[in-house]
């Protein structure tokens, strides 16, 4: 039996469920000849009550990172996680992350580690609904033409709740209570989280160096109850839609609210569900749909990434 030491950064909505799911899947790791040992969990406040397996070492001292074989990052932010992960990545060890802001905004630094197969980030887009896996593997045989997607659970939840008559601020508070929203939630409602995710996806199907700054972004803050009811009266629904398509010799990437017909595939996504319509010349039109926010569904992708690493699969390699 091989012992793998895992360091976890963050024990909030996602981090706690990662720890619980690793514990729950103990026998699956054992079947692969591996014993997972959590060497430490980094937090800001050790006195917070947490739902984690008994005996978990929760600390504000990142020193434990030096000794671990894999790091799982579920802390959020950009500069702080980058600073902590870089020395670790430089030493050739793998990182599993759900942090699309970090991936989108610091690709200048992270790309080389992704190309080397050291970065695992299925959870960063559509949480536990696998899209990065297929886009980084089998879908490469087909010529990509266009994608259209609903990628943010918070906006989806708010717009759905507003359709039921709830006001915007109350609906946002509901999304925060469910653990869907980013800190600060402007990242969600301003469209930036969706733009982060679109930039991550674009690197698998359009351009391996696709810059986050190339995404044109508009959020849902100005959507009123009247806009929503007008759309409903016309048999349409308002969604925050991410789109990526060819534009001459380059690519056009946008995030903006759109009115879509009620029977559009992107309208079938319920509460926190995300959906993505992928078009390729040879593969035709594919639809991915499923949960896109929440602790356990995100943890399922991160623990799946850990299993991939244990089995020997590389991380998610973008286009060269």
Contact residues for ligand HSE (CB under 6 A)? 127, 152-154, 180-182, 188, 193, 292-293
Give CA–CA dist 9/68, Å, rounded. 12
What is the Cα–Cα distance from 154 to 174, expressed in whole angstroms? 9
Of the pair 127, 150, the CB lying nearest ligand NAP is at 127
Residue of closest CB approach to ligand NAP: 12
Minimum distance of ligand HSE from residue 73's CB (angstroms): 14
DSSP letters for 259-309? EEETTSGGGS--TTEEEEEEEETTTEEEEEEEE-SSHHHHHHHHHHHHHHH
Contact 272, 33 (CB under 8 A): no
Applying CB under 6 A, the span of 76-84, 203-211, 215-223, 246-254 interacting with ligand NAP comes to 76-84
Q: Is there a catalytic annotation at residue 197?
A: yes
Query: What is the nearest approach in angstroms of ligand HSE to the Cβ of residue 284?
Result: 27
Does 76 bind ligand NAP (CB under 6 A)? Our answer is yes
Q: Considering the candidates 23, 197, 226, 239, report the single residue annotated as catalytic.
A: 197
127 binds ligand NAP (CB under 6 A): yes
Residue 5 burial (10 A CB sphere; 0-12, 13-18, 19+)? middle
Q: Please tell me the distance from the alpha carbon of residue 316 to that of residue 63, in angstroms, as a whole number.
A: 27
The answer to whether 18 contacts ligand NAP (rule: CB under 6 A) is: no
Whole-number Å distance between alpha carbons of 205 and 125: 14
Count of other CB atoms within 10 angstroms of residue 196: 27
Residue 291 binds ligand NAP (CB under 6 A) = no
Q: Report DSSP letters for 76-99, one per residue.
A: --SHHHHHHHHHHHHTT--EEE--
Residue with tokens 């536990």, as numbered in its chain: 128
179 binds ligand NAP, rule: CB under 6 A: yes
In angstroms, rounded to a whole number, what is the distance separating the alpha carbons of residues 265 and 183? 29
Point out which span in 41-49, 216-224, 242-250, 258-266 binds ligand NAP (CB under 6 A).
41-49
In this chain, which of 22, 74, 147, 151 binds ligand NAP, going by CB under 6 A? 74
Q: Which is nearer to ligand NAP, 150 or 260 (CB)?
A: 150
Q: Which residues are catalytic?
A: 197
What are the residues binding ligand NAP (CB under 6 A)?
A: 10-15, 42-45, 48, 74-77, 80, 98-99, 123, 127, 179-180, 182-183, 293-294, 298
């Amino acid at each position: 039996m091989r012992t793998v030491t895992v360091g976890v950064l963050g024990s909030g909505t996602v981090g706690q469920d990662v720890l619980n799911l690793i514990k729950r899947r103990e026998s699956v790791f054992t079947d692969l000849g591996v014993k997972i040992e959590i060497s430490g969990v980094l937090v800001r406040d050790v006195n917070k009550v947490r739902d984690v397996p008994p005996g978990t070492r929760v600390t504000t001292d990142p020193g434990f990172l030096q000794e671990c074989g894999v790091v799982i990052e579920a802390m959020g932010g950009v500069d702080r996680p980058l600073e902590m992960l870089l020395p670790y990545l430089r030493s050739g060890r793998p990182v599993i992350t759900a942090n699309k802001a970090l991936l989108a905004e610091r690709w200048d630094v992270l790309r080389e580690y992704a190309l080397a197969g050291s970065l695992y980030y299925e959870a960063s887009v559509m949480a536990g609904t696998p899209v990065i896996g297929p886009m980084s593997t089998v879908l490469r045989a087909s010529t990509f033409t266009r994608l259209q997607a609903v990628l943010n659970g918070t906006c989806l939840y708010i717009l759905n709740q507003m359709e039921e008559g709830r006001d915007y601020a109350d609906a946002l508070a509901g999304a925060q209570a469910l653990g869907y929203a980013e800190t600060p939630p402007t990242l969600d409602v301003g469209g930036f989280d969706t733009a982060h995710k679109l930039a991550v996806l674009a690197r698998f199907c359009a351009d391996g160096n696709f810059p986050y700054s190339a995404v044109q972004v508009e959020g849902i803050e100005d959507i009123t109850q009247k806009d929503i009811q007008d759309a409903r009266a016309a048999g349409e629904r308002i969604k925050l839609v991410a789109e990526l398509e060819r534009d001459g010799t380059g690519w056009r990437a946008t995030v903006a609210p759109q009115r879509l017909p009620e029977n559009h595939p992107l309208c079938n996504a319920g509460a926190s569900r995300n959906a993505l319509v992928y078009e390729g010349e040879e593969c035709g039109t594919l639809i991915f749909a499923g949960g896109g926010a929440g602790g356990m569904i995100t943890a399922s992708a991160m623990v799946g990434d850990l299993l991939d690493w244990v089995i020997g699969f590389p991380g998610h390699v973008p286009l060269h």
